[in-house]
Amino acid sequence: MSKRVVIFIPSIEEGGVEKNLYIVSDYLIKKDLKIDILTCNYNKKKKLNKNVKFIGTKNSFWFNKNRKVKYLICLLYLFFYLLFNKSKKIVFAFQANIYAILISKLCLTTVITRSNSSPSGWSNNYFKKKFYSIVIRLANDVMVNSYQFKKEFKKLFNIDAKCILNPFDKSYFSYENKTIKKKGFKKLSIISIGRLTDQKDHLTLLKSAKLIDSKLNPRITIIGKGEKYNSLVNFIKKNKLNKIVKLIGYQQQPTEYLRDADIFILTSKYEGLPNVLLEAQYFKKYIISTNCPTGPKEILLNGKAGDLIKIGDYKKLSSLINQFPKRKKKILNMIKHGSKYFSRFDYRLNCEKYLAFVKNSF
């Protein structure tokens, strides 16, 4: 099959979107599709299938620029690529969907999109919502990654998006990886993984840390990097949390820390279908998550596979942490319930849906 798919993802970072990019692009190539990736992050080449063709700048100058700059550069590349390359192709937008749609349509090219994060973060802005609602309809097809997300899309934009859950590739998580050595003293190990941004709201976790019973000997590890790093460090210092909270930055193998944890916590204000929750569920961890739009409630089966709290409710979060020793039987049942239904994220099942989604657009 000589058809080409141009995956538009200007900024390849270190999150869930990128994990899906690696998994899906690899699967599509194995099914004889030709994959071009348009990005400013040529430095991520080694993480992708060797048969991926890179479009766009390969200059290291752009690797660490902010998203807006990368979007602009890649949109210019997309315009000229579509204008002068006449081979049969479709654009599959993973980022900057609206702008990718406009340029693709200007160049008379089929475009499909993948939305990965709930519009709750910006849909209260009337003009943004209206503009998005008009342009998204120009796409040839739209997909989202959770059923709650699909309902939200229908309610906000009256669009019947296709839902494909994130494919979970167990081969990424080899049990041969070296695990973190446990300390000699008994402690309650708590972990949170995610970019240090306002969306992830790690401040809620830090506020809860002040209320955790010291007898539990809590140790909170926050993995990730981002623009909120300094403000989080200042909060930790001001509230004398240095002994129990550690910010350890981005880690190439965060699952080494995840395996050692007793509790996994997600405090986001909005999400799509967060991969970190899938990973925590796969490793059979007790999960506490905000009931934010849209994915956590779905992954945690309405609270049957983990505890859900209101966004920003640090008091409830600390209360659940303090109750951990007394609720072990109930927590074990929640973990078992999550494992029972984990097959819905099956790698092959959901990758086949991606393949059908792409093929139907040619």
SS3 141: strand
pLDDT for 11 equals: 97
pLDDT for 155 equals: 93
Question: H-type helices in 195-342, by residue range?
Answer: 202-209, 229-238, 255-260, 275-282, 295-299, 314-322, 328-340
Backbone angles phi, psi at 76, to 5 degrees: -65, -45
Q: CA neighbours within 13 Å on the CB side: how many for 182?
A: 12
pLDDT for 182 equals: 47
* pLDDT over 70 (residue 53): yes
At 143-183, the pLDDT tens digits run 999 999 999 999 999 999 999 999 999 988 765 444 444 44
At 327-344, the pLDDT tens digits run 999 999 999 999 999 999
Q: What is the mean pLDDT of residues 1-11?
A: 87
At 298-314, the pLDDT tens digits run 999 999 999 999 999 99
Strand-by-strand arrangement of the 245-247 sheet:
245-247, 218-223, 188-193, 263-266, 286-290, 307-309
Q: Which residues pair with 261 in a beta bridge?
A: none
Provide the token pair at 337: 């319930």
Nearest alpha-carbon partner for 304 in 275, 279, 340: 340
pLDDT for 2 equals: 62
**What is the rounded radius of gyration, in angstroms, for the C-alpha atoms of the chain?**
21
At 227-285, the pLDDT tens digits run 999 999 999 999 999 999 999 999 988 988 999 999 999 999 999 999 999 999 999 99
**Please, which residues have CB within 8 angstroms of residue 30's CB and are 6 or more apart in sequence?**
49
DSSP conformation letters of 6-42: EEE-S---SSHHHHHHHHHHHHHHHTT-EEEEE-S-G
Would you place residue 325 in the very low, low, confident or very high pLDDT band (cuts 50, 70, 90)?
very high
SS3 264: strand
Largest Cα–Cα distance in the chain?
67
Length of the chain: 362
Compute the distance between CA of residue 153 and CA of residue 200 in angstroms, rounded to an integer.
22
pLDDT for 111 equals: 98
At 84-114, the pLDDT tens digits run 988 889 999 999 999 999 999 999 999 999 9
Q: What single-letter DSSP state applies at residue 50?
A: T
Cβ-contact 339, 281 below 8 angstroms: yes
Compute the distance between CA of residue 248 and CA of residue 229 in angstroms, rounded to an integer.
10
At 345-359, the pLDDT tens digits run 999 999 999 999 999
* pLDDT over 70 (residue 9): yes
Would you place residue 185 in the very low, low, confident or very high pLDDT band (cuts 50, 70, 90)?
low
Nearest alpha-carbon partner for 71 in 97, 45, 109, 53: 97
Nearest alpha-carbon partner for 138 in 119, 117, 113, 163: 113
Q: Which domains does the chain have, with CATH numbers?
A: 4-167+346-359 (3.40.50.2000), 172-344 (3.40.50.2000)
pLDDT for 86 equals: 81
SS3 162: strand
Provide the token pair at 326: 């007394």
Mean pLDDT of the chain: 94
Q: What is the mean pLDDT of residues 119-124?
A: 82
Question: Percentage of the chain with pLDDT > 90?
Answer: 87
Residue that is written with structure tokens 């900057």 in the block = 96
